[in-house]
């Protein structure tokens, strides 16, 4: 098994936490790994949020496996989590699995440009809290016989598909970032570059934070445009 040497125990712990959160939403989750040099990108898709989650991990030394200088494989998130050794700051790369459709379509690697209008971190947390409270209130008003999956899904779509101001970013993307541990409270006096940013490339929107990012296609984007198939 190929062993990845992570930069430190903190990187290993953050990777394990990210994988655990993905598995919370999908016990059979798969992740796509791409490594080159001292950077490892881990892609996952929690089904509840309909976004692509990306966690960047620093490696202690450039990836190397025989004559291959890069890694690109889709593997079981559960098996990868089991291989993470936080004390040794290592992770083994499990055998490849047949990837889900999303694993073949990733956001572009470059061409990202800033998008205006993203609220401050505190406002984003408040936005998610208000949406969760509204969902609970509306579903709590339903009679038992009305609590069908179709009704709950309709209420969820109504709330989570709303956009953050005029950014075009759906609230569910912010909820995903918070639930996956990407949207953390900003430390007092933290620099502006360490706070969440909204960027776009083609038909893709990406909420980027120092701890990871979530990406999704813009609403109404024509199929096949702006895709990076790798």
The domain locations on the chain are: 3-106, 113-196
Residue 70: what pLDDT? 86
DSSP 167: S
The model's pTM is: 0.87
Residue 5's region, left for phi above 0, alpha for psi from -120 to 50, else beta, is: beta
Residue 125: what pLDDT? 94
pLDDT-derived band of residue 173, with 50, 70 and 90 as boundaries?
Answer: very high
How far CA 186 is from CA of 106, 193, 227, in Å, comes to 28, 11, 32
| Confidence check: pLDDT of 228 > 80 | no
| Confidence check: pLDDT of 132 > 60 | yes
Interval 30-53 mean pLDDT: 94
Number of Cβ within a 10 Å radius of residue 13 = 15
Interval 66-73 mean pLDDT: 80
Share of the chain above pLDDT 70, in %: 90
pLDDT-derived band of residue 62, with 50, 70 and 90 as boundaries?
Answer: confident
**Which residues on adjacent β-strands are paired with residue 170?**
163
The 3-state DSSP class for residue 147 equals coil
| Confidence check: pLDDT of 106 > 80 | yes
DSSP 170: B
Q: At what angle do helices 149-160 and 121-140 cross, to 10 degrees?
A: 150
| Confidence check: pLDDT of 66 > 70 | no
Number of Cβ within a 10 Å radius of residue 119 = 16
Number of Cβ within a 10 Å radius of residue 6 = 24
CA distance 27 to 171: 24
Q: What is the mean pLDDT of the chain?
A: 89
Helices (H), the chain: 9-25, 77-83, 121-140, 149-160, 171-179
| Confidence check: pLDDT of 229 > 90 | no
Backbone phi, psi, residue 95, to 5°: -65, 150
| Confidence check: pLDDT of 191 > 60 | no
Token pair for 225? 């445009």
> Which residues neighbour 197 within 8 Å (Cβ) at sequence distance 6 or greater?
114, 118, 207, 208, 209
> Do 110 and 201 contact (CB within 8 A), yes or no?
yes
Measured on CA atoms in the order 63, 64, 70, 76, is the torsion positive or negative?
negative
CATH number of 3-106: 3.10.150
Residue 141: what pLDDT? 95
């Amino acid at each position: 098994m190929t062993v990845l040497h992570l930069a430190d125990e903190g990187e290993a712990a953050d990777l394990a936490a990210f994988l655990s959160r993905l598995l919370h939403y999908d016990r059979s989750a798969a992740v796509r790994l791409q490594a080159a040099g001292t950077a490892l990108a881990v892609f996952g898709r929690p089904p509840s949020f309909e976004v692509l989650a990306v966690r960047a991990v620093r490696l202690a030394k450039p990836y190397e496996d025989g004559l291959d200088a890069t890694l690109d494989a889709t593997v079981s998130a559960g098996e990868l989590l089991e291989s993470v050794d936080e004390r040794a700051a290592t992770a083994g790369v499990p055998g490849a699995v047949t990837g889900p459709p999303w694993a073949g379509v990733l956001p572009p690697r470059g061409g990202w440009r800033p998008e205006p209008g993203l609220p401050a971190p505190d406002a984003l947390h408040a936005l998610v809290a208000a949406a969760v409270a509204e969902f609970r209130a509306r579903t709590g008003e339903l009679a038992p016989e009305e609590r069908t999956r179709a009704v709950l899904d309709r209420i969820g779509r109504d709330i989570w598909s709303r956009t953050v101001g005029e950014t075009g970013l759906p609230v569910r993307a912010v909820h995903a970032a918070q639930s996956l541990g990407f949207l953390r409270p900003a430390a007092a006096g933290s620099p502006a570059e360490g706070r969440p940013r909204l960027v776009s490339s083609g038909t893709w929107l990406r909420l980027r934070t120092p701890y990871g990012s979530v990406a999704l296609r813009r609403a109404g984007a024509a199929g096949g445009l702006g895709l990076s198939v790798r």
